[in-house]
Amino acid sequence: MTYPSSTKFALLGAALIAISYGLARFAFGLFVPPIRHDLGLSPSEIGMISALPLISFIFATLIASVIADRIGARITAIISGSFGTVGWV
């Protein structure tokens, strides 16, 4: 079994971040006005909901290094990709 170079691995990680974080954050902003209207949410409530992806991203960043040290970077990336796929579906 051959392992990918560190550059390829870094590109994979960047792609996972772009897919799991970037698309969800930007897509939510497009739907804020109808969501706010339909659910009767205040601006502060929408702000709290908007902050949740960033908070979860920071939490995942903090624990990712611990997980990678324990089970390996490759398995950590696979788990991350799996969570991203499940969330996307």
Provide the residue ranges of all domains of the chain, joining segments of one domain with +.
6-88
- Whether pTM exceeds 0.85: no
Cβ count within 10 A of residue 20: 21
CA dihedral angle for residue 51, residue 24, residue 33, residue 35, rounded to 10 degrees: -90
Cα–Cα distance, 18 to 24 (Å, whole number): 9
| Token pair listed for 42 | 């205040």
How much is the pLDDT for 42? 92
> What count of other Cβ atoms lies within 10 Å of the Cβ of residue 76?
19
pLDDT in tens, 23-80: 666 777 788 889 889 999 999 998 888 888 778 878 888 888 888 889 988 888 888 8
Q: Hey, what are 85's tokens?
A: 């796929």
